[in-house]
Amino acid sequence: MTTSRSPLRILAPAESADRIRNELSRRRFLSLAALTGGAAVLAACTPSGSTSPTAQATGGTLEDQLSIYTWGDYDSPDVIDSFTAELGPRITMDSYSSNEELIAKLIAARGTSGYDIIVPTGVFIPQMIENGLLLQLNKELIPNMANLDPAYLSRSWDPDNNYSVCKAWGTTGYVYDKNVITRELTTWADFFDAAQNEASGKTSMSDDPAGIIGAYFWANDMDWNTDDPAELDACADFLINEIAPHISAFDSYAGSNAIPQGTHALMQSWNGDARLGLMESSDPDRWQWVLPGPITELWMDNWAIAEGAPHPEAAHAFINWSMTPENLMLNLDYIGYNVGGKDMEQAAADEGLELLDLMFFTPEQLATMKEQELNDSQARRVEIWNEMKAAAGA
């Protein structure tokens, strides 16, 4: 099992577009090319022992292995260990830092990735379904879905939860070092101003197109799902020419990595990752979490099973295992994100969990959070992301 909070990222030569076109229709290829921006895809990697054919789970004998491809450090070790101890399958885990990275690997593998469970963000699910990247769930094998709050089920990207179900949801903000930045920061405009001043050369942004490009539109109180070329060009000019020279790292796990080490003064961060870093810091009062205005992101990651999953029985069993009330609470505390269970805020308070304000949000805060929508601008957004990283020397 991979336990590092700083996942290894291995790039390999691109698959040719012609090879992928042989597997997908032109329309479908272009829709997924937009997700990955036409960028190089990752080489397929089949975990050891993953050779059995695709099969729809029926509730039969569990396989002896389970392979999970997910966001870094996204499951409580207690949940993982108890699953193996009680039910048998041995779990191996790999991690990614963006949905684009996940999808690129699945496209390259064409159903032979060897991964069972994956955890895509909701907005990407419709095109993953359309392009045959997901296996339909057998919901009879996931009775613990009944432990989830209905508010987190039947979302627009998969109304009947036929292919996915809530794993966790959260938002994007930032953390700053109050010893370096002595003024109060409250908005995304403040973030960019501090990045160019007190925190120049000591600022990290997420290694994810949504958060980087979204932050520009959030700072300007604009629709972050715009496909207006002029607005995207203005975004590119600002991020590449004005912000990139001040960025020292692109890290999707900066909160948990950099807060305890004190390596950055300003870090874009998801709320749960920030919570983890604050809890592990030897001086938590040094750091300030900000849920920035005027608007920011709302995302939901989802349990799903990859097409070609070699261990579908174990995959269903693990998803169901993770949804017991006890395991929902363990994951809530460990990852620091709302995992969608019923009545969890009060239960978390009763358990004495720390920093609840980084996991549960008021109606007023929720009103500032907007979901991403995929549109024809996605390839341009990924292009901006890559150009910004190049300009920063990352």
Mean predicted confidence (pLDDT) in 64-88: 97
> Is residue 4's pLDDT more than 90?
no
* pLDDT reading at 25 higher than 90: no
In this structure, are residues 93 and 116 in contact, taking their beta carbons and an 8 Å threshold?
A: no
Is pLDDT of 49 > 50? no
CB atoms < 10 A from the CB of 13, how many? 9
Pairing of strands 247-250, 65-71: unpaired
Q: What is the pLDDT of residue 3?
A: 31
Residue 231 — very low, low, confident or very high, per pLDDT cuts 50/70/90?
A: very high
Average pLDDT over residues 360-385: 94
pLDDT at 155: 94
SS (H, E, C) 278-304: HHHCCCHHHEEEECCECCEEEEEEEEE
Give 267's strand partners: 175, 204
Q: Structural domains in the chain?
A: 17-169+299-357 (3.40.190.10), 171-297+366-392 (3.40.190.10)
- Indicate whether 350 pLDDT > 70: yes
Res. 341: pLDDT tops 60: yes
pLDDT confidence of residue 165? 98
Ramachandran class of 154: left when φ > 0, alpha when ψ lies in -120 to 50, beta otherwise: left
User: What pLDDT does residue 253 have?
Assistant: 87
Task: Tell me which H or E stretch contains 306.
Answer: strand 296-306
b/e 339-375 (16+ beta carbons within 10 angstroms → b): bbbeebeeebeeeebebeebbebeeeeeebbbbbebe
pLDDT tens digits for 267-283?
A: 999 999 999 999 999 99
| 109-162 pLDDT, tens digit each | 888 899 999 999 999 999 999 999 999 999 999 999 999 999 999 999 999 999
pTM: 0.83
To which H or E segment does residue 153 belong? Answer: none
For the cut 50, the answer to whether the pLDDT of residue 195 exceeds it is: yes
Mean per-residue pLDDT for 84-94?
97
The predicted structure's pLDDT at residue 394: 56
Helix 229-237 crosses helix 378-392 at what angle (to 10 degrees)?
Answer: 10
Give the mean pLDDT of 254-275: 93
Question: Of all residues in the chain, what percent carry a pLDDT higher than 90?
Answer: 80
Closest CA to 165 of 146, 192, 183, 187: 146
Give residue 21's pLDDT band: very low, low, confident or very high (50, 70, 90): very low
The CA distance from 369 to 365, in Å, is 7
Helix locations, the chain, DSSP H: 17-21, 26-36, 77-87, 99-109, 125-130, 188-196, 209-219, 229-237, 254-261, 271-280, 312-321, 325-335, 344-351, 363-366, 378-392
Checking if the pLDDT of 73 tops 50, the result is yes
**CB neighbours of 342 closer than 8 A, spacing ≥ 6?**
147, 148, 149
pLDDT at 177: 98
